[in-house]
Chains A and B, each alone.
Chain A
Amino acid sequence: MFRLLRIELTKSTSYYVFWGMAALNLMALAGLYWGIQPFIDDKLADASRNSPIPIPAISLYNFPEIWHNLSFMAGSRFFLMFPALVIILLVTNEYSFRTIRQNVIDGLSRTEFFLGKLYLSVFIALFLSLFLLINGFLLGIIHSADVSSVAILSKIHFIAAYFLEVLAFCSLAMMIGFLVPKSIFALGILFVYAVIAEPIATHFVGESYKQFFPLYAMSGVIDVPNSSLMKLFGVQFKDYIDWALVLITLGWTVVFNLISLWIVRKKNL
């Protein structure tokens, strides 16, 4: 496993797109984690001035809700696009440079080739989860009133849900890359599916079927956090992880990866 991961990481060593996207992604996430509270405070201050009723202040950085708040924002489709784009390029490059062919000639099995890409996705998802954990921990320690270990740990499994979201989205991207080995088309298809096609499709199907769409299920794993503001409007979101949606997302992740594996094993290179 580490041999395959090492091969994948060597492939990315001086790939400027990989490092550029990684830097952009981490900067954007850091900006989000550290900047969102001051941003909301500003907005609320503005809103309060014109509001007949007082608007309660919101703190996003309280343990344990911080894990829910941060993983919800980091798991949004915009931020998932960064790792997905890198994965698509790393897969389609192998076809356009015909290096997948040379890898197989050199003695990598087709299954190993696929596994290398899967391990890289897992690695990226783990790295982003760790980044969330470190930033969340620091922000919580600084701002949270309650820093007991019970408070810190009670919702920390939201990070695992975030990990699943990243991995599921990367798996979808990887499958599209294997299906359509032209980078520009693969990126287009991912974008159209994620931003246009699935949202439209889920709009027209019945409530009970929506949850079976991969991205709809994925985004539902971590629901919108229940802030005091939301309570003001009388909206109730799930402040827990929906295990049924976790199972559906896991199922889709397995399906995406099996399709990728099947393509790698069947196609002439």
Chain B
Amino acid sequence: MNIIETTGLSKSYGKVHALNNLSLTIRQGEVFALLGPNGSGKTTTLGIILGVIFQNNGTYRWFEEENHYSQRRKIGAVLEMPNFYPYLSGTNNLKIASDIKGIDYSDIPRVLRIVGLEDRGKHRFRTYSYGMKQRLAIASALLGNPSVLILDEPTNGLDPQGIAEIRELILRIAAEGITIVLASHILDEVQKVCSHVAVLNKGNLIFKGSVKEMTHPGYTLEMASSDMTLLRKTILEIPEVSGIESESEHWLVSFSSEPDAGIINSMLHNKGILLNHLSRRTKSLESHFLDLLKKQ
């Protein structure tokens, strides 16, 4: 089932195009990342599909149904900062969210336990550390076991231990089959947590697909031997080779199909060339991401 489907969403603030013609589909069970630098349109996208920002153009549909505000009661979402009443206790803040979603208060201790705030529920939100505020926001999103969880930069401003805890939590929730949409500018986070990704830059969608596809190693080998000129000449005789370039101590050889390093090695060996360096080039998500941004 499609959880959310957007067609041609656009939003501009005066002359600034915050979002251009975005069409996306997120399916049930995906851990979907909206990846992009700050100001790329991630929060605008989430704001539109959550009904707090009005788009200039395009449509969106939740759960393959007609739009209705009550659909959002099945969605657990936190946008940007954790937004709560500072003078109310954590528990009272969650009571308000429960009343809005039509959920029994008995779910509050459960979600507080999940995020490790069971001892602080009675304290005022104002007294919480930033990490605790973030965790209360996630607790609020988890109320009533939503079928979709939307998290906007959930690890922003957390210390390394807090980041690790939140990621652990996200993976645990994803394992239960809840669809997760995660907006982030942290590549490492996306690589570790997500199954699918859409990359946004300046409001434009520049890549969508699975994280595996994006981090695909590519068909590139690094090679070096004592006689680099002979090596180059020999390599170019291989029909699958589509390109070769020099990079510091070795040749960077691109293939048109996935190369088998073993076969290539033995072939070169038969021609009397002994390789002193042979390595498969894996492209990190980061270099892919930077490539994508450069292409813009």
Point out the residues of chain A lying under 8 angstroms from B276, CB to CB.
none
Would you call B268 an interface residue if the criterion is a C-beta within 8 Å of the partner chain's C-beta atoms? no
How would residues 87 to 111 of chain A score, 1 for a CB under 8 Å from any chain B CB and 0 otherwise?
Answer: 0000001000111011111111110
Would you call B92 an interface residue if the criterion is a C-beta within 8 Å of the partner chain's C-beta atoms? yes
Work out how many contacts link A and B, with CB atoms closer than 8 A.
85
Point out the residues of chain B lying under 8 angstroms from A101, CB to CB.
52, 79, 83
Would you call B208 an interface residue if the criterion is a C-beta within 8 Å of the partner chain's C-beta atoms? no
A103 to B96, CA, bound (A): 8
Q: Find out whether the CB atom of A268 lies under 8 angstroms from the CB atom of B52.
A: yes
Q: How far is the CB of A120 from chain B (nearest CB, A)?
A: 14
A102 to B96, CA, bound (A): 10
Q: Find out whether the CB atom of B54 lies under 8 angstroms from the CB atom of A268.
A: yes
Would you call B61 an interface residue if the criterion is a C-beta within 8 Å of the partner chain's C-beta atoms? no
Q: Which of B35-88 contact A (CB under 8 A)?
A: 47, 50-54, 69-73, 75, 77-79, 81, 83-88
Q: Which residue of A lies closest to B150 (CB)?
A: A105
Q: Find out whether the CB atom of A107 lies under 8 angstroms from the CB atom of B70.
A: yes
Q: Find out whether the CB atom of B52 lies under 8 angstroms from the CB atom of A13.
A: no
A191 to B157, CA, bound (A): 40
Q: How far is the CB of A9 from chain B (nearest CB, A)?
A: 10
Consensus secondary structure, chain A interface: helix
Would you call A14 an interface residue if the criterion is a C-beta within 8 Å of the partner chain's C-beta atoms? yes
Interface centre among A14, A101, A106 (most CB of B within 10 A): A106
Q: How far is the CB of B256 from chain A (nearest CB, A)?
A: 48
Q: Which residue of B lies closest to A109 (CB)?
A: B69
Q: Which residue of A lies closest to B11 (CB)?
A: A268
**Contact partner, B87, options A3, A16, A269, Cβ 8 Å:** A16
Q: Find out whether the CB atom of B85 lies under 8 angstroms from the CB atom of A105.
A: no
Would you call A11 an interface residue if the criterion is a C-beta within 8 Å of the partner chain's C-beta atoms? yes
Q: Which of A232-269 contact B (CB under 8 A)?
A: 268-269
Point out the residues of chain B lying under 8 angstroms from A109, CB to CB.
69-70
How would residues 1 to 22 of chain A score, 1 for a CB under 8 Å from any chain B CB and 0 otherwise?
Answer: 0010011001101111000000
Q: Find out whether the CB atom of A105 lies under 8 angstroms from the CB atom of B72.
A: yes
A82 to B137, CA, bound (A): 33
Q: Find out whether the CB atom of B89 lies under 8 angstroms from the CB atom of A106.
A: no
A109 to B70, CA, bound (A): 8
What bracket does the count of chain B residues touching chain A fall in? Answer: 20 to 34
Would you call B232 an interface residue if the criterion is a C-beta within 8 Å of the partner chain's C-beta atoms? no
Stretch at the interface among B97-105, B195-203, B222-230: B97-105
Would you call B135 an interface residue if the criterion is a C-beta within 8 Å of the partner chain's C-beta atoms? no
**Contact partner, B96, options A7, A16, A268, Cβ 8 Å:** A7
Would you call B124 an interface residue if the criterion is a C-beta within 8 Å of the partner chain's C-beta atoms? yes
Point out the residues of chain B lying under 8 angstroms from A93, CB to CB.
85
Q: Find out whether the CB atom of B86 lies under 8 angstroms from the CB atom of A97.
A: yes
Would you call B95 an interface residue if the criterion is a C-beta within 8 Å of the partner chain's C-beta atoms? yes
Point out the residues of chain B lying under 8 angstroms from A14, CB to CB.
87-89, 92, 124
A106 to B76, CA, bound (A): 7
Q: Find out whether the CB atom of A105 lies under 8 angstroms from the CB atom of B87.
A: no
**Contact partner, A10, options B86, B99, B124, B140, Cβ 8 Å:** B99
Q: Find out whether the CB atom of B89 lies under 8 angstroms from the CB atom of A108.
A: no
Q: Which residue of A lies closest to B52 (CB)?
A: A269
B interface with A by C-beta (< 8 Å): 47, 50-54, 69-73, 75, 77-79, 81, 83-89, 92, 95-97, 99-102, 124, 140
User: Nearest 7 A-B pairs (CB), nearest first?
Assistant: A107-B73, A107-B72, A269-B52, A102-B83, A98-B83, A109-B69, A106-B100
18 sample A-B contacts, Cβ–Cβ < 8 Å, listed by A number: A7-B96, A10-B88, A13-B92, A14-B124, A15-B85, A16-B87, A97-B84, A98-B83, A99-B84, A104-B52, A106-B73, A106-B97, A107-B71, A107-B72, A107-B100, A109-B69, A110-B69, A269-B53
